Amino acid sequence: MSPLYGAASPAALFDEVYENYRKYLNPPLARVMKLSGSPVEVSAEGCIITDHAGKTYLDFAGGYGVFTLGHRHPRVVAAVKDQLDRMALSGRTMFNPLMGRLAKRLAELAPGDLSISFFANSGTEAVEGALKLARAATKRPAIVATHGAFHGKTLGALSASGRDAFRDPFLPLLAGVRHVAFGDAAALRAVVDANVAAVIVEPVQGEGGVNVPPAGYLRDVRAICDAAGAVMIADEVQTGLGRCGELFGCDRDGVVPDVMTLAKGLSGGVVPIGAYVARPAVWNAAYAKQPLLHTSTFGGNELACAAALAALDVLRDEDLVANARARGAQLLAGAQATAGRYPAVVAQARGAGLLVGVELRSEGYGGTIIPELLKRGVTAAWTLNAQRVIRLEPPLIVSAAQVETALAAFDAAVASAFEQLGTLP
Ligand code: PLP
Ligand 1 lined by 150 (C-beta under 6 Å):
yes
Average pLDDT over residues 169-173: 97
CA distance 176 to 228: 16
Ligand 1 geometric centre to CA of 203 (Å): 13
Whether 245 contacts 352, CB under 8 Å: yes
137: nearest Cα among 221, 226, 231, 222 = 231
Average pLDDT over residues 158-179: 97
Q: What's the pLDDT tens digit per position in 113-158?
A: 999 999 999 999 999 999 999 999 999 999 999 999 999 999 999 9
Q: What's the pLDDT tens digit per position in 52-98?
A: 999 999 999 999 999 999 999 999 999 999 999 999 999 999 999 99
Q: What's the pLDDT tens digit per position in 314-359?
A: 999 999 999 999 999 999 999 999 999 999 999 999 999 999 999 9
Q: What is the DSSP letter of 289?
A: T
Q: Tell me: pLDDT of 408 over 70.
A: yes
Ligand 1 geometric centre to CA of 165 (Å): 17
Q: Tell me: pLDDT of 1 over 90.
A: no
The dihedral formed by the CA atoms of 312, 318, 319 and 324, expressed in degrees to the nearest 10: -90
- Residue by residue, DSSP assigns 194-255 as TTEEEEEE-SSBSTTTSBPPPTTHHHHHHHHHHHHT-EEEEE-TTTTTTTTSSSSGGGGTT-
CA distance 312 to 319: 11
Ligand 1 lined by 235 (C-beta under 6 Å):
yes
Helix (H, G, I), strand (E, B) or coil at 104: helix
Q: What residue's CA is closest to ligand 1, atom 7?
A: 152
399: nearest Cα among 335, 326, 297 = 326
Dihedral sign of CA atoms 308, 49, 203, 315 in order: positive
Residues of the chain above pLDDT 90, percent: 98
Ligand 1 geometric centre to CA of 418 (Å): 32
**Around 291, how many Cα atoms within 13 Å sit in the side-chain half-sphere?**
2
Average pLDDT over residues 170-190: 98
Domains and CATH numbers, the chain: 36-65+319-421 (3.90.1150.10), 74-317 (3.40.640.10)
Ligand 1 lined by 205 (C-beta under 6 Å):
no
Q: Tell me: pLDDT of 37 over 70.
A: yes
Ligand 1 lined by 152 (C-beta under 6 Å):
yes
Q: Return the amino acid letter for 353.
A: G
Whether 149 contacts 162, CB under 8 Å: yes
Backbone angles phi, psi at 35, to 5 degrees: -60, -35
Ligand 1 lined by 240 (C-beta under 6 Å):
no
Q: How confident is the model at residue 2 (pLDDT cuts 50, 70, 90)?
A: low
Mean pLDDT of the chain: 97
Helix (H, G, I), strand (E, B) or coil at 278: strand
Q: Tell me: pLDDT of 374 over 60.
A: yes
294: nearest Cα among 417, 137, 148 = 137
**Long-range residue pairs from 398-405, CB within 8 A, at least 24 positions apart, any chain:** 398/47, 398/70, 398/323, 398/327, 398/354, 399/47, 399/327, 400/326, 400/327, 400/330, 402/47, 402/58, 403/327, 403/330, 403/331, 403/334, 404/330, 404/334, 405/58, 405/378
CA distance 70 to 328: 15
Ligand 1 lined by 382 (C-beta under 6 Å):
no
CA distance 65 to 239: 8
Residues of the chain above pLDDT 70, percent: 100
**Long-range residue pairs from 162-170, CB within 8 A, at least 24 positions apart, any chain:** 162/208, 162/385, 163/384, 163/385, 166/384, 166/385
Which atom of ligand 1 lies at the shortest distance from residue 149's CA? 3
Q: Tell me: pLDDT of 218 over 70.
A: yes
Q: Tell me: pLDDT of 425 over 90.
A: no
Measured at the CA of 264, the angle between CA 177 and CA 33, to 5 degrees, comes to 90
Ligand 1 lined by 127 (C-beta under 6 Å):
yes
Q: How confident is the model at residue 281 (pLDDT cuts 50, 70, 90)?
A: very high
Backbone angles phi, psi at 249, to 5 degrees: -60, -35
Pairing of strands 259-262, 231-235: parallel
